[in-house]
Amino acid sequence: MAGEPLIYDNNQDAFHFSSTSRLQFNDLFEISDIDNNIYLYNKQTEKLFRIPAHAKLILSKIRESNVTFDELFRDLGESFDLKNPDVTNQLTAFINQMLNVGVIFTHTHNLEEEKSSNGTMWKDKIDGRILKFNLISTLDEDLQGFKLKLPAWSKKTWTITISIYTLSLCLFIYIFMMDNPSLFYGSRNYFLIIPWLIVHLTGHELMHAIMCKHVGGKVKEAGVGLLYYFIPVAYVRTAETFKLSSGKRAAIAVVGPVYDITMALITLVITILTEGTFFHYIAFHIMVFQFSLFIFNCNPLLPTDLFRTIESLSGQINVRGRSLKFLKGMVIKKSLPLYLKNISVKMKFFYFTYSILSVLYLSLLIYLTLNIIIKAIN
């Protein structure tokens, strides 16, 4: 769910419609007011768009009664200066855009085509750079009524507590690893390590699902997938979490890294208790993998849990997508959408810097992964 605003321009080439065409609102879409923002949500594709207040007014009039374009203009006469040619052109461009993305339609045939296009298996399998293989579609019902017993602290208290907790564990685990360098060269039977890592990843995603249900969200499905189409991951697919408060969305995201570092601590305790045995080395390497997953999942240059936590708490929407779109527009000299044009110099610098660092980091990650694979083959 990208959460990008639908901001129209003056390009009217996308659709041409008669002034007597009857406009109908697509019931696949839902308009919601959340955190002083207005969102347009596609219930089938789960795509989320932010729209301005005047766009809500226009769409609400179409939804309430299937008006023609001429009737809509007459109804909007009290709210807009329709004698101004620029306002008229912008309104026409907005209607064109809504037709283009399927929010409204003029004929039943167009709606059926939109439903068919958005409901393809391929588009359903690919979401957020993950090729998905659904395994469980009843997790929401299985977790119905499940509640965590958590203190009723403020958002600030929770943020400080979790920060101190994770940083303390990171320091403790790091010191232990540096004080025991010989363990790195112990037994490395990965056939014994891999099953435990699968269990860990499954538990990680289950914690997201449990927290989602705890704060009142919905869990659509769970399964395994390929991040960027080659990194194996487990996943839980939530639905309509945009309706939750920023604090609740942050809680759903941050519970993943907290689980990772907590499990690494538990495995560290097992490592210490099994000293002198074969399991001592196995537990140590499992802990190293868990700690590495925690570090990876706290990288804000990727769409990780920490990135989503910061994004939720800051009130920003689709920072990564906006940054990459801003960079793409600058590189290929393409006109930027208005929501990227009308921003401060500070935000432009942030988007440019973040997108450059993200691209460089991802390129380095792909290079290192391919290098490891090539060395393993040779």
pLDDT digits (tens, 9 = 90+) for 33-58: 877 778 888 888 777 787 888 888 88
Question: What is the per-residue pLDDT for 7?
Answer: 53
Specify the pTM: 0.77
Over residues 309-343, the pLDDT tens digits come to: 988 888 777 888 889 888 988 888 777 776 787 78
- Please give the angle made by the CA atoms of 230, 236 and 240, to the nearest 5 degrees: 120
**Cα–Cα dist 167/149, whole Å:** 23
* Tokens at 12, concatenated: 């009217």
Q: How many residues does the chain have?
A: 378
For the segment 159-165, the average pLDDT, to the nearest whole number, is: 93
Tens digits of residue pLDDT in 169-214:
999 999 999 998 888 776 666 677 878 888 898 899 889 999 998 8
User: Stretch 107-126: mean pLDDT, rounded?
Assistant: 43
Minimal CA–CA distance to 88: which of 106, 69, 101, 102?
A: 69
More confident residue, 262 or 371: 262
Q: For residue 281, is pLDDT > 80?
A: yes
- Residues 129-135 have a mean pLDDT of 60
Give me the pLDDT at residue 174, please: 92
